[in-house]
């Protein structure tokens, strides 16, 4: 299969990337595994929230998905770099973040390597729209090369909650952490606090003295207006931290030529 683009004058910096990703999208849409079904329609139905109850059942059956089993959506931009691509029904789905390459894999999927990649929660075949939404959030939380792949399961139910939260509510959460982010040490401190169990453990992760971290926590408490280490305060802090990361995510911006990660 051959694709091409034509333009007058000299090539532009991103031409090679654009051509390569166009070829990938065409191959996914029209290449391997194509059967006498409309793959675009069926996988689009499975990832679309507004489908009628019967449409996902028909679409999942057309892809050979079994009603009694659970599956996940793997989501990646077209410029993702794969070290081991997953196999399964796949397509390119249009989203508000741009075209996304999606693959349906079993709940217990084979190890895969790619960057950046988001893996959604497990769901029944007719409920893969939920897995798709969580995979998109997981993808936007990627931070290559430090964190090239994010699985929604690693965050419990928080990613699913964020997938269902509207933009206005997410902005409120992001604004909450903006008041803290004015301090140069704030975001790395919050990251340590939400990924460890105690202040002492967080201090070890940050390589600072316990008293230094305690002073930071006191400042964060004042800025937030609630205790980030007590009761639901820790959940509120973790949610605000994830929303802050989402609001500043650049993982879906196309890399410049020669800087593929």
Distance separating alpha carbons of residues 16 and 26, to the nearest angstrom: 16
Quote the pLDDT of residue 151: 96
What would the pLDDT profile of 182-197 be if each residue is shown by its tens digit?
899 999 999 999 999 8
Q: What mean pLDDT, rounded, does the chain reach?
A: 85
Distance separating alpha carbons of residues 28 and 24, to the nearest angstrom: 6
The 3-class SS string of 191-256 reads HHHHHCCCHHHHHHHHCCCHHHHHHHHHHHHHHHCCCCCCCHHHHHHHHHHHHHHHHCCCCCCCCC
Q: How confident is the model at residue 135 (pLDDT cuts 50, 70, 90)?
A: very high
What would the pLDDT profile of 6-15 be if each residue is shown by its tens digit?
888 888 878 8
Q: Can you give the pTM of this predicted structure?
A: 0.79
Quote the pLDDT of residue 235: 87
What would the pLDDT profile of 109-118 be if each residue is shown by its tens digit?
988 899 999 9
Report domain extents, the chain.
Answer: 15-164, 167-247
């Amino acid at each position: 299969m051959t694709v091409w683009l034509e333009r007058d004058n000299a090539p532009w910096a991103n031409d090679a990337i654009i051509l390569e990703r166009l070829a990938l999208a065409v191959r996914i849409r029209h290449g391997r595994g194509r059967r006498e079904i409309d793959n675009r329609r069926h996988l689009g139905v499975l990832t679309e929230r507004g489908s009628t109850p019967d449409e996902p059942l028909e679409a999942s059956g057309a892809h050979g998905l079994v009603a009694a089993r659970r599956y996940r959506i793997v989501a990646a931009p077209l410029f993702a770099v794969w070290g081991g691509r997953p196999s399964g029904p796949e397509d390119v789905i249009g989203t508000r973040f741009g075209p996304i390459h999606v693959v349906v894999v079993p709940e217990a999927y084979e190890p895969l390597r790619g960057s950046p990649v988001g893996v959604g929660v497990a769901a029944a075949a007719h409920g893969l729209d939920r897995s798709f939404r969580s995979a998109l959030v997981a993808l936007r939380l990627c931070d290559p090369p430090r964190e090239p792949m994010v699985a929604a399961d690693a965050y419990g139910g928080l990613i699913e909650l964020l997938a269902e939260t509207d933009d206005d509510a997410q902005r409120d959460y992001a604004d909450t952490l903006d008041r803290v982010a004015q301090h140069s040490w704030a975001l790395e401190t919050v990251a340590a606090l939400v990924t460890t169990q105690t202040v002492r453990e967080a201090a070890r992760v940050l390589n600072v003295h316990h008293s230094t971290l305690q002073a930071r926590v006191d400042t964060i408490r004042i800025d937030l207006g609630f205790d980030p280490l007590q009761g639901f305060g820790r959940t509120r802090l973790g949610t605000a931290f994830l929303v802050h990361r989402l609001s500043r995510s650049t993982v879906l911006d196309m890399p410049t030529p020669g800087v593929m990660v």
